[in-house]
Each structure stands twice: as C-alpha cells, then as structure tokens.
Structure 1
Amino acid sequence: MSSPRPRKPAIFSPDDPNVVMTAPKDDPLLDIASGTEADQQLPALASATKSKRRVPWRKILFGAVGGLISLGIGLAVTRLIEDLFARFELLGWVALVLAGLGLLALLAIIIRELAGLSRLATIEKLRERATQTLLNDNRTEGQAIMRDLLAIESKAPHLARSRTKLQAHLGEIIDGADLIRLAERELMTPLDREARQLVSNAAKRVSIVTAVSPRAAIDIFFVLITALGLCRQLALLYGGRPGTLGLFRLMRHVIAHLTITGGMAAGDSLIQQVIGHGLAAKLSARLGEGVLNGLLTARLGIAAIEVTRPLPFAALPRPTLTEVAGGIIRSAEQAEKNKA
C-alpha cells in the first residue's frame, strides 16, 4: 500500500471564502467554547493564580496609622506655635526654631537608618554573590567581589597589610573561587578571631549574671540587652553600621538562621557534654541555669557571625559552640569547686 503523497506548499488568503480554518481536537480553546468539563479547569487555574496575589493589608494598616500619627503630631505642633505667637511673639519664634531643629534631627536619623539598612543589604548581597562565585568560578565576578569587599573594609586600620596583599594579587589569580578563598583568608582571619572572642565574652557575662541575679525578669532583660549588643558589635566588626531598624532586622535574620540550622543545636558536642555527663545536675540550680543561658547566648552569637560576615565560610572553619563557650563549663566547674 503506497503512502499518501505530501501536499505541496500553497499560498492562500485568509479572506478567501473557500478556506475553512479549524482548531485541533486537543485545543483547550475549542474545549472552552464547547463548554466541556475539561475546559472549565483553565479559568479556574487562572483565577487561582490571581488569588495568590494578596493585598498587603498589614503594610497598608501600618502606613495609614503612621500617616495619621504624623499628621496629628504636625497639627499639634502647628497649633502650639500659633498659640505661642498669639501670646508672645518671641516665644513663637523660639518654638519655631525648636521645631525646625527637631525636624532636621529627624531627617538626619532617617538618613542614617536608611544608610545602615542599605549597608546591611549590601553585605548580604555580597555574601550571596560570593557563594555563587564559589560554585561557578567566575573570575570577573570574583574580582568585582574582592573590590567591593576592600571598599567595605577600607576603614579598618588593622587590615591595611591584608588589603595591600589582596590588591597585589587581584590580577594574578585566574580562578574566581580562589579569589574568594584568598580574600577570606587574608581579611576574615583576624575578624573571625575577634568575633569569637566577642561571643565568648558575652556568653561568660550572661552565665555569671544570670547565675547570681535574684529574679528571672533581670535575667531576661540582661540576656536581651546582651544579645542586641553582641549583634551590633559583630555587625560593626565585619563592616556593617546598623541603626535601630537595622539592628532589629539583623536580629530577625539571626533568629531565622537559628531556626534553619536547628535552633539550639542540641547535637553539638558541648550540649551533649552538659546533658550527657549530667554537669547541670552536679552544679547548683542557679549555676546550671547560668551555664545554659551562656550556651544559648553563644549559639546566638555564632548565628550572628554567619549573618553579619560578608563572605561565606569556605577556606576557614566555622566557629563551633565548643570554641566560643568552652570557658563557661570550666568557669562553672571552678566556681562549684570553690563553693565546695
């Protein structure tokens, strides 16, 4: 049986009445026109996709309330100045000058907060770019990351020699991943050492204060203040300058990092030492509570290092809980021996 001969290409006009255009049998548009059950799913999927775009009611609420409060404060200040002008003109001018100074200070604070948020975002993006460069080994991107990192750390006097070495090797190394590792070894080594010391000191302070404080409210307040101060110190150490809003954003990232990496890190060797060997049971109740609070502070500090560091850990080892909080256990054991 011979196969049908293929039709030759032909030219026709869409307006030709002899030409009839039909849709294929599996065309969903044809199913929709016929009203079948299958074609009704397409509009349903489209409506479901549109429904995912929710209106940001929370942002609208905060924006509206903030606008009303701002208008109320502005109206109250305006009435105060008008009343002072009505009573005594000199007092009105004094109030006007004070209002101008307050507005100038408010603008300066807003600019500083925005600059702090922008710098934190720059460091976060730099860390993401470095992570991608370690994977794709892009030399051009590696050089750009190194230049940005040198700009961030340009005001650290104790990194002057490291910056000089990096600038000398900027055009010599071919692989982008090697550039990132070299920058990490040269710039992050002294900063990581200082960061570990900051976390260790904060953990020891928390363990001692919470062990001797008489009330739990004091413990909570001191731990909160210490955690905020530690995150701010680490951010400043690695080149960030967070303001008040930047600090709260940084704490949110740190808590999110703790959640992703397992919270308290119960599998860590130091936690296993405390729980497995029953050290907390051998110590007094308050001293054992202080040890655990110090361990939690140290774990928070390690997460803060991961978040505030401008480069990921590739050439250098990550800090461990044993390194930064090992002195807590030794201090607790020594204090228990002295007490005995």
Structure 2
Amino acid sequence: MSKKQPIVIELDDAPKKSKRATPKTKAVTRDAPMSPADAPAIIDAPISGDAMQAVTQIATSRPSRLLRFFGWAAFTLLGLVISIAFWDFTSNLMARNIWLGRIALGLIAAMILACVLVVLRELGAMARLRKIDDLREKSEQIYAQGDLAAAKKHSEKIVTLLKGRDEIRWALVEYREHSDDQFDTASQMHFAENTLLLPLDQLAQKEIESAARQVATATAMIPLALADVVIALTANVRMIRRIAQVYGGRTGTFGAWRLMKAVATHLVATGAVAIGDDMIGSIAGGGVLSKLSRRFGEGVVNGALTARVGIAAMEVCRPMPFVALKRPTVTALMKNALTGFFGATR
C-alpha cells in the first residue's frame, strides 16, 4: 500500500515570483515563529500633568467684556428681585400681624448687617494683601538704593505686620535684641530676612508638601475624569490661602481667588509653568513610577506642579524677596512630601 502524496493546486491569479531576490529581505510565512525583536515598539505618551495644567488655565483665564457685562446685569437684576420680594413679604406680614412684621424686618436688617460685615472683611483682607505687595516692592527699592535708615524702618513695618504671632515670638525677641548691631543696608535686610522670615518659610514649605502629597495621592488613587482637576484646584486654593496666612495675610473668599490669579499670573510671567531644571528629578521619578502605573506617574507630576505653585505663592505672599535665603526647589519639596507619604522618618 503506497502513501498518498499531497495534491498541489496552482492558482492562475497568484503573482509570479520575481527572479531577483534581495539578500537582506526575509520571507515571513504564516507558520514562521515571531520573535520579540519583530514586535513593534510601544511608545509611551509623555506625562504632562493634565490636572495642574487645567488648574492653571482656569486661574489665568479672564472672561470677556460681554460675559462680565452679562454677569453684572444678572447680579443686579437678581438683587432687585430679592429686594422687592423681601419688601412685599414684610409689608404683607405687617398688614396681617404687626409683631411678626417687625420680627421679619429685624431679621432682614440683621442679614443686611452680616452682608456688610462680610464685604468689609473682604476689603480688609485685600488691603492687607496689597500692604504685603507694597512691602515686597519697597524691599527691592531699598536693596537698589542702599538706604540704612529706610531699611530699619522697613524692618519695623514687617515686625508690626507679624506682631502677635505665637509661633515666631522668639524670632521677634531675637530681632529686638540684635537689630541695633547692623551698620549697613545689606546686613540689616539680611538679618531681618534670616530672623523673621526663616521660621515662616519653614511653615510655608510644610503647607506645600502637604498639598503636593494630597494632589499626588488623589491623582493616583481616583480614576474619575474630572475629579483630579477639582481636587487639585481645591488643594491649591487652600494651600495659597494658608501660605498667605503664614506670612501675615488674611484672605477671604474673593481675596483667595484674587491671590490665586496673582500666583497663576506670576507663574505664566516667569515661565514657571514649563518644566525647568528644578523639576527634572520629580519628572524622572514620575517616569519611573509610570512604568509601574501611569496614574502614579501623573500623580508625581501633578504634585511637582503643585509644589511649583506653592513656591510661586511664597514669592507673591512674602513681604521680602528671596535674597539672603535660598528659594526652595521643587525636587526637595517633593522628596520630603513623598517621604512623608511612605511613612519614612529620619
């Protein structure tokens, strides 16, 4: 019994093989095994910190004139409608019962008084922020002019701004003891910065590390689309408010938003939104973590951008520029923030 031979059927439409074959090309058949070298390369998309980029765009965006006019008109109309409704309600109630009408009128007066007090508090907070801005600008002028008397007077204004703070009471005492030992402008300004602002800088850095850790954790753990943007915006506004309070500023609701816009404008003006030398370590850490999880990489980058916002807030809220003291870096802040996150202690 003979073995059956395979039957080969030739198709007329099959393309003819070329007589010239390139030696370097290798025919790959369906049965040939694929090697890892033949697989296409996987290109990772760069991690850019989308949440913090969105927060910066929200803070720096300014509505158009038409939108502002619409908001003013809508707010005025709403106030008019509420006023007329209160008037009709009080008039009808007084017509029905004089004592109930008087009680309602007293409650309306108390609400108006509370609104006036809130407005006055907001105006006072903005005035205090403007005072800090004036002190910082005056510090730059004193460094340029070299006036010792102006430097001592300026230092006394900073002492007045920080008076009554329990956490720096020892610093105020030390300043009072050695303020007369400075005999030139630079030494007087450096002494004031080292004595009065060094403990405040340390408190502000702790606030930045806490906010960066919160944003990094939220970005890594929460998979929702806009949740990381909302959390980053909330954490950054809270961080900026606390930094302003550390340096003697008082921020209300509108004052905090104004301060947020000032910090975002400072970031855009100085080009600090882009990746610089002080973020190379943080970005590298985010790239390493992104190999394990892209969300962790995004968290590190968003935390680093939050730290950069915090540094800009320190520069905006500080009554003196960084001259005698070194400005903190993003890498050092992120190192401390992530060290605290993983629970390591020195």
- 1:113 is aligned to 122
Write out per-residue CA displacement over residues 70-98 of structure 1, whole angstroms, 9 at most, x where no aligned residue. Answer: 33332221111111112222221121011
Instruction: Name structure 1 gaps, 5 residues minimum.
Output: 1-55, 336-340
Say if 2:282 and 2:330, in contact at 8 Å, map to a contact too.
no
Provide the TM-score with structure 1 as the length reference.
Answer: 0.75
**Aligned position for 2:183:** 174
1:151 paired to 2:160: yes
The 1:173–1:328 alpha-carbon spacing in structure 2 relative to 1, beyond 3 Å, is closer
| 1:328, distance to aligned residue in structure 2 (A) | 5.5
Partners of 1:113 and 1:245 within 8 A in 2: yes
Residue 245 (structure 1) aligned with residue 254 (structure 2): yes
Which structure 2 residues correspond to residues 31-110 of structure 1 after superposition, within 5 A? 66-110=75-119
Partners of 1:138 and 1:177 within 8 A in 2: no
CA contact (8 A) 2:285 2:300 kept: no
Separation of aligned partners in 2, 1:87 and 1:271: 73
Aligned 8 A contact 1:298 1:324 in 2: yes
1:267 is matched with which residue? Answer: 276
Q: What's the offset of the Cα at 1:118?
A: 0.5
Count matched residues. 279
1:234 deviates by 0.5
Give, as a single letter, the amino acid of the residue that structure 2 aligns with 1:179. Answer: Q
SS of the counterpart of 1:318?
Answer: coil
Change (3 A) 1:112 1:75: same
Alignment of 1:1-340 (within 5 A): 66-271=75-280, 274-275=283-284, 278-327=287-336
CA contact (8 A) 2:247 2:317 kept: yes
Superposition CA RMSD, Å: 2.5
The residue type paired with residue 135 of structure 1 is A
3-state DSSP class of the match of 1:313?
coil
Query: For the structure 1 residues 126 and 61, does the alpha-carbon distance in structure 2 shift closer, same or farther, using more than 3 Å as the test?
Result: farther
User: Contact 1:133–1:142 at 8 Å: present in 2 too?
Assistant: yes
SS state at 2:271 partner = coil
**Please, which runs of 5 or more residues in structure 2 have no aligned partner?**
1-64
Cα 1:266–1:175 shift into 2, 3 Å: same
Higher relative contact order (CA 8 A, sep 6+): 2
Distance in 1 (CA, whole Å) between partners of 2:202 and 2:340 is 21
Residue 206 of structure 1 deviates from its aligned partner by 1.1
TM-score (norm 2): 0.74
* CA deviations over 1:24-77 (Å, ceiling 9, x no partner): xxxxxxxxxxxxxxxxxxxxxxxxxxxxxxxx9998776665544433332221
Structure-2 separation of matches of 1:290 and 1:273: 11
**Deviations, residues 160-213 of structure 1 (Å, cap 9, x unaligned):** 222123223444423233222111000111111121111111111111121111
Offset at residue 274 of structure 1 (A) = 2.5
* Cα distance per residue 1:225-250 (max 9 Å; x no partner): 10111001101111101111110110
- Letter matched to residue 274 of structure 1: I
State how far apart, in whole Å, the 1-side matches of 2:229 and 2:244 are.
Answer: 23
What is the SS of the residue equivalent to 1:216?
Answer: coil
Native 8 Å contact 1:135 1:177 kept in 2: no
CA distance in 2, matches of 1:298, 1:141: 34
CA distance in 1, matches of 2:162, 2:116: 27
Identity of aligned residues (%): 35
AA paired with 1:219? Answer: D
